[in-house]
Amino acid sequence: MACSETRLVLASASPRRRELLARFGVPFEVIPARGAEPRLRDLSPGALVRTLAAGKAAEVASALPDDAVVIAADTVVELDGEILGKPGTPEKAAEMLRALSGRENRVWSGLVVRRGGVVLTADECTRVRFRTLSEEEIAAYVATGEPLDKAGAYGYQGLASLFVESIDGDYFNVVGLPLCRLGMMLRELGVELL
């Protein structure tokens, strides 16, 4: 079924996710989930992002007809088993960037595609290696304000691209929406992006 015949809803306020989905030229609505993200402990990073994405999808889907297709995602950065969320303050952003400097981190995205009672759930992991950063570089990047609202205090698609030596996995996952996986999940529900 073509997307033009399907009500497609992105359950996210993320401008990056909106831009990525818009690449396909298919009509979709943005209805961000409003509920607070619960503090979940003792979950693996993959289970955490799947659970958070499922909650967002369920919230948005509850106000829509059963034939609407809801896409929800959640992304975190993991370093040595610790989840690095959005820093919120310049000091916390600088602390996170120092920890990432010269090391590999993993970006996890949970993805849920839901239509009526059918709920497809997946997670994607991409390894990201940072080069060693100087204190001056960290301070300059933090001063831009870019890292404050990004998981792990960096946006690979933005200025932090200067810091990333390599990635192993889906680039779009690092940006926040694993497109290859999304396309396969939508196809499973009979929705084609092409």
- Residues annotated as catalytic are 74
Cα distances (Å, whole numbers) of residue 30 to 7, 94, 104, 170: 11, 32, 33, 24
Place of tokens 């996170």: 96
Q: Is 88 helix (H, G, I), strand (E, B) or coil?
A: coil
Contact 76, 48 (CB under 8 A): yes
Torsion sign, CA atoms 121, 157, 3, 8? positive
Give the tokens for residue 87: 């820093």
What does the alpha-carbon distance between residue 149 and residue 143 come to, in Å, rounded to a whole number? 13
Tokens linked to 14: 């993320």
Q: At 71, list the tokens.
A: 């896409």
